[in-house]
Amino acid sequence: MNWCPPVHSILFLLLVVPNIIPSESASAFHPPPTNFKSISKTSFVTLEMSSIGFIGLGIMGEGMAGCLLSNDVAGTKETPLVVWNRSPSKCANLKDKYPDKNIVVKESAKDVVESCEITFSMLSTPEASKAVFEAPAGVLAGVTAGKAIIDCATLAESDMQRMKDQVETKGGKFLEAPVSGSKGPAHTGQLIFLCAGSKSLFDEESVQSAFKAMGKATHFFGEKIGYGTRAKLVVNSLMGTMMAAFGESLALAESVGLDGEKMLEVIGQGAIQSPMYALKGPKMLKKDHAPNFPLQHAHKDMKLAVDMAKGVGVEYAVTEEAEKLLREAREDKDLNIAEEDFSAVFEKIHKKSTGEFSKKWN
């Protein structure tokens, strides 16, 4: 006959012994969850992927990045702003200006893209954009599946198409988003974004939040790349033509003895009033052309617009003449105004004029 322990002994083992085992030993009976490491890793990836990247902190980019920081779209503990600029001092200046913000400076554009799910790029010229985009440590080198690039520069349509194809080939998303506006609107969040490309990227909540922080309006022209650029070139070529005509009108007014300030008042009261005239006019009369939109960049946009018009057979003679005037102003080594505001075309108008007032002006 087999021996069987008394019932009270079994109860003792079940009820009393577990309560007298030290907690350290008890942990051996209850090991941590097997998915602990995976939870930690997931949290890290989420933090990394919540970062927003910004490449290019020049006249426009500095203000745009500042708006992201000021509105807590980026630069928070949860969402760092990851930046890179060709001149490292610009990154240092941004950190100094926003000492309480979470700004991470990277050594290359590639590092920025690798660290962020979404990266904005704002570079000054097609040449600079191509160099930064295609460099060994450039934007494209950091693109992998799921990465998103939003380019805000004004480039040729072919440039945008090339970048879009390169990004998508590596599994990323691309949105062109050139802006209407200059230094002032960039710093005050009053830009207008003209977008085309990935609709899913455009619709992302974080992207819309960024656009709202940096701009007063956002337009989507479709998924075909190039339509945002086309819209931007139409706007900027009109703006350049307006500035050329405005400069000639002011030069004529003063040359026939009219008071320049009084004429600005008259212009501002009629149907031809324009915020640009109100902003630029008083400075032009004082030869103040501190750059908000450099003349060389304005001319670049006008040349791209003229080429676009020729490509589709549109009569663009008035704009062509204005483009020619801005080109002459840009190339004038004596005036040396290429990096001044595009209102400095006023100086070229006076230089080309032969009247007594213009001679004294120069």
The residues that are catalytic are 232
Structure token digits, residue 287: 């030869």
Structure tokens at 4: 């069987």
The token pair that represents 235 in the structure block: 């706007």
Give CA separation, 189 vs 69, 71, 266, 326, in Å: 11, 10, 30, 28
Count of CB atoms within 10 A of residue 15's CB? 9
Distance from C-alpha of 73 to C-alpha of 213, rounded to nearest angstrom: 7
Question: How far is residue 22 from each of residues 12, 16, 25, measured CA to CA in Å?
Answer: 17, 13, 5
Residue type, 113: V
**What whole-number distance in Å separates Cα of residue 295 and Cα of residue 278?**
18
In the three-class reduction of DSSP (H, G, I as helix; E, B as strand; rest coil), residue 56 is classed as coil
Which residue is associated with the tokens 């075909």?
224
Q: Which of 111, 101, 119, 106 is nearest to 51 (CA)?
A: 119
Residue 102: how many CB atoms within 10 A of its CB? 16
How far apart, in whole angstroms, are the C-alpha atoms of residue 223 and residue 174?
10
Torsion, Cα 200 203 206 210, to 10 degrees, reads: 120
CB environment 59-95: b (16+ within 10 A), e (fewer): bbbbbbbbbbbeeebbbeeebbbbbbbeeeebbeebe
- How distant is the alpha carbon of residue 123 from its chain centre? 8
Which phi and psi angles does 107 have, rounded to 5°? -85, -10
